[in-house]
Structure formats: C-alpha cells, structure tokens
Amino acid sequence: MPLILWIIIGLLAFGVLSTMFVSFFIYRALLLRTSKDTWGRNPSMPDDEEYVRLYKQADEWGARHKNRMKEVHIKNDGLNLYGEYFDFGGSSAVIIIPGRMEACTYSYHYAEPYRQAGMNVLAIDTRAHGRSDGRINSLGYKEYRDVIAWARYLHDELGVKKIVLHGICIGASCALFTATSADCPYYITAIVGDGMYQCFYDSCKNPMLKDHRPIFPFLMETMLYTRLISGANAVTDGPKKRIHSMRKPILFIHSREDMFSTPEKVKELYERCPSENKSIVWFDHGGHSRVRVNNVEKYDKTVVDFVTSLGITEPLK
C-alpha cells in the first residue's frame, strides 16, 4: 500500500479517535455521576440568579412544612433509593420527578399546588442523584422502574390510594415511560409533564444550534455513548415514541420561550397523544424548567385545577 494511503488512514483514525475522546467527556458531563458530591441535594447552578431564586423558594417551602416530612427509603434494581415524604393527611399523593442534576430538595419548588389540593408529596432522589445509589442517568429507561417501586411503596406501605406523577424535563419523560409501561399500576392515575421533550437528542441539539457550536460528529458520538452506557436510545425513542400509548390523563405545561423543547415539538406530542383527557397550558415567559418561577400563581392554579378535575383530591386540612 502506498505511503500516502497509510498517512490518510492514520489521519482519519486519529481524527475519529480524537472526536470520540471529546464526545465521551461530553457524555460524561451530561449523564455520568462522578462522585457523591455531583448532583447532590445542594443547588447545582449556584451562579445562576434565576435558579438560585427557584431554589430559595424550594428551601422556604421545605422549611415551612418540615414537621410533615419523614425520610423514606426503598431498594430497587439493587440500588438504595431515598426520598422525603410530606404527609398532609390526604389519601392521594404526587411523586415529583426532577430533571437531570436535581435531587429531592429541588422538587419542593413544585410541591405547593399539590398541598393546596390536599395531596401528600413524595420528593425523590432519582438514581445517581442526591443520596440514592447509582452512577448512570438513563433518561427514564431504567428510572421508570424506580418510580413504579416508589408508587408501590406509597400504596402498599403508606396507604395512598391514587398517585399523580409530576415530571420536569427528563423527569417528564420518565413519568411518561412509567405511565405507558405494561407494569404501571392502576393507582398511578395521571401525569403532569413540565417541559417534556420529544427525544433527548433534540434537547441537546437545539441549544447547540443557537450557540453555533459544532454538531457533527460530536452530538451523534455522544448519543452513541448514551446508547452503549446509559442503555437509552436518545435519537429515535423517548416521548415521541411512547406518547402513542398514553391513555391516562395528562397535562402538558410548556413555555413559549423553551429552546430545549421547542413549542412546535410539544404541540406534535400533544396532537399524537391518544388520551381522552389531555390538555396543554402555555406560559409566555420562562426558560426550560423555569416556568413556575416566572409565574407561580398561574402555574399553581393550572396544576390544582387539573388534579381537582380527576376527583382524587380532598379539601386542604
């Protein structure tokens, strides 16, 4: 073989190895927990003013209702999973499923409308977050089994009769995976999806396009690592595939300013959803996962109205 061909092959191989090396570190930053301090119960973005305000509101809610809280623990898939359960005396409860990098204390921010509706609140550390075991974020592909285990714990051990899932971003995808699973128990009644995307690939691609960052080959290589390590098909699977099986009541909450999951994409999800009890409520302001912090009153009323319409709530005690 001529020397020039060996040089070309060598350069191509070096180029591929170089981009694969970079893409692994992108994947690692996105979906691998490198230590117990990563994705813990403290704010993950302490320099983000709006996020700090959100977390402050969450902390204040937790402090106000500390006397209602007890630490809870289950085991599933060989992992120790932890959460905090707020008992407000209701027979129904919400499981709040936070997004990537967030743990149970973050979920306090979304708990108030459920308390107002007379529901109990379970805020969980998803696997690889907070105090829970695990290193890999699987985008809901494995986490949905943990949500089912938490629901069974609420029902079998704590006597909860009906359960609503409230998911934010990846948590919304996980809630949909749960509700459309063949193993989903009947007492998981409905889901609320805040910032649900069609697939994780889109959620990563959109901000890269906005910031003029190179997509090829890094994004597809990152998605390959996501498939190989996380076990998640982040390109062709996700809510856009699972929504066709969604029969339970579902509320979509979405911001018109969301650039991770664009309004056009969530409109498509809504239209494809076959549930006879579905609704979508738009908010004019707020980035991805930042809807409530920009309009608390409307957000809480939206959630209260939805869960009240299900007939599973009780007057606030």
- Sequence-separated (6 or more) residues with CB below 8 Å from residue 232: 138, 139, 140, 141, 200, 226
Res 2: pLDDT: 62
Question: What local confidence, expressed as pLDDT, does residue 10 receive?
Answer: 43
In a domain, 3, yes or no: no
Q: CA neighbours within 13 Å on the CB side: how many for 182?
A: 0
∠27-31-37 over CA atoms, to 5°? 120
The parent domain of residue 191 ranges over 38-198+238-309
| CATH code for position 115 | 3.40.50.1820
Per-10-residue mean pLDDT of the chain, 317 residues long, equals 48 58 91 93 91 95 98 98 98 97 97 98 98 97 98 98 98 98 98 97 86 82 94 96 98 96 96 98 96 98 98 80
Q: Round to whole Å and give the CA distance between 9 and 13.
A: 6
- In a domain, residue 226? The reply is no
- The reply to whether the predicted model has a pTM over 0.75 is yes
Q: Answer whether residue 42 is part of any domain.
A: yes
Q: Is residue 207 part of a domain?
A: no
3-class DSSP assignment, residue 69:
strand
Number of domains in the chain: 1
Alpha-carbon distance 190 to 278, whole Å? 10
Answer yes or no: is 125 within a domain: yes
- 260, 167 contact by CB (below 8 A): no
**216 found inside a domain:** no
CB 169 within 8 A of CB 289: yes
Q: Is residue 185 part of a domain?
A: yes
In a domain, 140, yes or no: yes
The CA R_g of the chain, rounded to the nearest whole Å, is 20
What integer pLDDT is reported at residue 52 of this predicted model?
94
Residue/partner pairs of 270-274 with CB below 8 Å, 24 or more apart: 272/240, 272/243, 272/244, 273/243, 273/244, 273/246, 274/244, 274/245, 274/246, 274/247
Contact present, 140 and 170 (Cβ < 8 Å): yes
